[in-house]
Amino acid sequence: MTCWTVQGLLVLSVAAFGEGRMDLSAGWMDAATQMALDLGMQDKAFADAASDPFMAESSRRTYWALYWQGNMRAMREDSPTFMLSGVVASTELPCEEWEYQSGEIPQPLSLKNYSARDPMDEKSYSSWTYLIDLCRLSTEADSRLVSWLINLPKWKQQLVDPGGAVDMVLFHAMAYANSLRIKMQLPMEASGFGIRDLLTLGPLFKSRDMAFPRMPRCSGSSYPWLECSIALQAGLSTIGLFNFSLPPARYSPACIIGLRRAALALLDARMYGGSDSPALREKLDLLLSVLKVAGEMWPVARNIGNEVSDVLRDLNVTGNRDNINQLDSCMDAFIADMTTSGVAPDSGMFPFPEPRTVEGMFNWSAGHVNVGQ
């Protein structure tokens, strides 16, 4: 029983989730987590006992990857807690990806010291640190998630590391943040229903008390709540991450549920908006394309894509039968505003190595862990 055993079980758990084998995924996740606790990987002393700084960093990444995956599982299953949520961990936070790959491991930062930072300080932290911080906010109010998003350093929000590659850790963190925002707007126990069943309940998402400040309210809209829907904003932001031409196979299967939630927000707007929107259709087409390509590797993505496609097909049939062909310029303007507010320039030039196997997907081999990238 070693750190590498924990890594192997974690990789198997994530891969099983992508295959739709939730029973195996849960079993391997529970086994990996319990083994990590038995080894004492939550304690600083465990990493400090490693043979060199690189192995110590790999140990830290293994523990915090377990924490992240456990947090996402709890959010998927509407569980208020998970095995590591109540554990007081003294093991320090992982460094940046490019530092890890170079083998030049900096002095690690403790979670305690990060929590005690000056909120007005402009110092940047590793993407892993921001991801772990987000997990701690997963049950907080939407305003806390928004604060997390807007307080990310500007250069990190571009999702490009100093080497010119896309920062996959922060990519997943931002996708997860938007997924959490949508989840908070859904009815209780919504995770137990399919997309079609949820949409038949009526409009799922309500507006905030105040209109979206960047977009004037369109008084003639049948459903003006659409223009300031938190869920619609978050759904569009999730899909906007793929403006980087990111190969969808690089998207962690555990995060694909975020695409399902984004689909719910967009389909809700499409079904109950009372009019048509070319911009909304374009975003739904992009979402389907992402799910289709991701589905070539992960069946769970293909299943979600089939759900979305079936609902859209029915909506198109209903729309043609009822002659709903009014174009919604307000919706188009809202989507255009969301789309242009945070897009990095020249995104097609960034490199993305394409994985060919499960091992390649996670960049995993003995002594390394990079789960979710």
How far CA 105 is from CA of 108, 109, 189, in Å, comes to 8, 11, 43
Asked whether 170 and 156 are in contact (CB, 8 A), the reply is: yes
Q: Which amino acid is residue 360, in one-letter code? A: G
Domain ranges of the chain: 1-91
Asked whether 147 and 190 are in contact (CB, 8 A), the reply is: no
Asked whether 217 and 164 are in contact (CB, 8 A), the reply is: no
d(CA 197, CA 164): 43
- Written as tens digits, the pLDDT of the chain (373 aa) is 888 999 999 999 999 999 999 999 999 999 999 999 999 999 999 999 998 999 999 999 999 999 999 999 999 888 888 999 989 999 999 999 999 988 889 999 999 999 999 988 889 999 999 999 999 999 888 899 999 999 999 889 888 777 777 888 999 999 999 999 999 888 777 777 888 888 888 788 765 443 333 333 443 444 444 445 788 889 999 988 877 666 656 777 877 888 999 999 999 888 887 556 788 888 999 999 989 988 888 999 999 999 999 999 888 766 554 544 454 556 565 566 665 554 433 333 333 333 333 333 334 333 445 545 4
pTM above the 0.85 mark?
Answer: no
Q: Which two tokens stand for residue 24?
A: 């195996």
Residue that has been written with the tokens 């997963």 in this structure: 138
Interacting residues of 280 by C-beta distance below 8 A, sequence separation 6+: 266, 269, 270, 273, 331, 332, 335
Longest dimension (CA), the chain: 70
The predicted structure's pLDDT at residue 210 = 38
Helical pair 127-136 and 142-150, crossing angle rounded to 10 deg: 170
The predicted structure's pLDDT at residue 48 = 94
Asked whether 6 and 62 are in contact (CB, 8 A), the reply is: yes
The predicted structure's pLDDT at residue 213 = 37
Asked whether 300 and 17 are in contact (CB, 8 A), the reply is: yes
d(CA 278, CA 339): 14
Q: What is the DSSP string of 322-365?
A: HT---B-HHHHHHHHHHHHSSPPTTGGGS--PPP-SHHHHHT--
